[in-house]
A = this chain, B = another copy of it.
């Protein structure tokens, strides 16, 4: 059996995005112990850099040692108890996954549904909040990776606060690509991913919880159902000070990579990163529309970093994706769920949001059509 040398792809699907050589090289630095004083220093740096990326001063800000789905589960299992009521907004795959999380806890999900490709409707959310004054949490997806839609997180959080409801926000695809103002909007709990606009490899999930959310966790009536994701325990390791107690063995090398990717975001400046994503989206849009390819999502809720576009008439969408991969080593995404077979998902995330990526995509696609 031979060693595995992956092909050098250009990643323009829904994630992972291209990882910069600096980050890849960081992964290969020698492994040290998860309780080594030098590693504890790195953990502190990562926390500070994550606070910058998530635009928050929350002390409880750390990367969960598992992918975004586990970050989602961390938010739900810590904040929600059996019997609680959670308003879950569903306008794509990840809202559905949130609902699964709620019901598996033994809590009740009140579903606010919107069509795939549309943002969460704040009027429906307000109606649900009024009808359910006992709802404990409002959960929604800021940037839906399955549909390329941005929902108005600021407005939704303001509604939740007005009705004394906590918020859990999925920001897997938003962080680094569009503004997501955790403190300014009053988000109580949020999870993200590393393999989208942060351009680190997949496998970690940054989370942040504010003081209000921490109080809720501290005052739980039942234990958190997951030992691995119980923040009371995780904090013994990721908390402050030099004395860190062993909880689980942190994924040391993956954290080297995340640290380097976060440094690169800080060097660029997060506002510049948002502007870069926006500018590359505009370039892509101009090029695609000139080819008669249109966007699925209305302009005002369109994500710059994840573009859902129509398949030209008579084109076999899977064959084109296959050809892009075979002839150009270029990955774009298929549609998921309601959009399966009907759209392409073109990612411009993190290191994949450059002029060269847009040029390659437009010309390779032109050649395949």
Q: Are B104 and A226 in contact (CB under 8 A)?
A: yes
Asked if A45 is an interface residue, CB under 8 A from chain B, the answer is: yes
Which of A10-18, A135-143, A154-162, A212-220 lies on the face that meets chain B?
Answer: A10-18
Q: Are A24 and B33 in contact (CB under 8 A)?
A: no
Which of A30, A49, A73, A228: most chain B Cβ within 10 A? A228
Closest chain B residue, CB of each to CB of A172: B249
In which size bucket is the chain A interface?
35 or more
A159 to B24, CA, bound (A): 48
Asked if A34 is an interface residue, CB under 8 A from chain B, the answer is: yes
Cβ–Cβ < 8 Å partners of A283 in chain B: none
Beta-carbon contacts of A224-250 to B below 8 Å, as 1s and 0s? 111110000000000000000011111
Asked if A368 is an interface residue, CB under 8 A from chain B, the answer is: no
Q: Are B28 and A9 in contact (CB under 8 A)?
A: no
Knowing A27-B253, A202-B251, say if A36 contacts B195 (CB, 8 Å): no
Closest chain B residue, CB of each to CB of A70: B228
A259 to B1, CA, bound (A): 11
A257 to B28, CA, bound (A): 10
Closest chain B residue, CB of each to CB of A195: B249
Cβ–Cβ < 8 Å partners of A100 in chain B: 227
Cβ–Cβ < 8 Å partners of A206 in chain B: none
Tallying the copies of this chain within the complex gives 2
Which of A61-69, A114-122, A357-365 lies on the face that meets chain B?
Answer: A61-69
CB distance from A356 to the nearest CB of B (A): 16
Q: Are A33 and B9 in contact (CB under 8 A)?
A: yes
Asked if A171 is an interface residue, CB under 8 A from chain B, the answer is: no
Cβ–Cβ < 8 Å partners of A28 in chain B: 24-25, 27-28
> Which one of B15, B68, B201, B325 contacts A253 once the chains associate, using CB atoms below 8 Å?
B201
> Which one of B11, B29, B49, B228 contacts A69 once the chains associate, using CB atoms below 8 Å?
B228
| Chain A positions 306-362 with a Cβ under 8 Å from a chain B Cβ | 325, 331, 336
> Which one of B32, B228, B253 contacts A7 once the chains associate, using CB atoms below 8 Å?
B32
Could you show 11 A-B contacts with beta carbons less than 8 Å apart?
Answer: A11-B31, A15-B249, A66-B66, A70-B248, A72-B227, A72-B228, A100-B227, A104-B223, A193-B249, A202-B250, A253-B254
Chain A: residues with CB nearer than 8 A to chain B? 1, 3-9, 11, 13, 15-16, 18-19, 24-34, 36-39, 42, 45, 48-49, 65-70, 72-73, 97, 100-101, 103-105, 193, 195, 201-203, 223-228, 246-254, 256-257, 259-260, 263, 266, 325, 331, 336
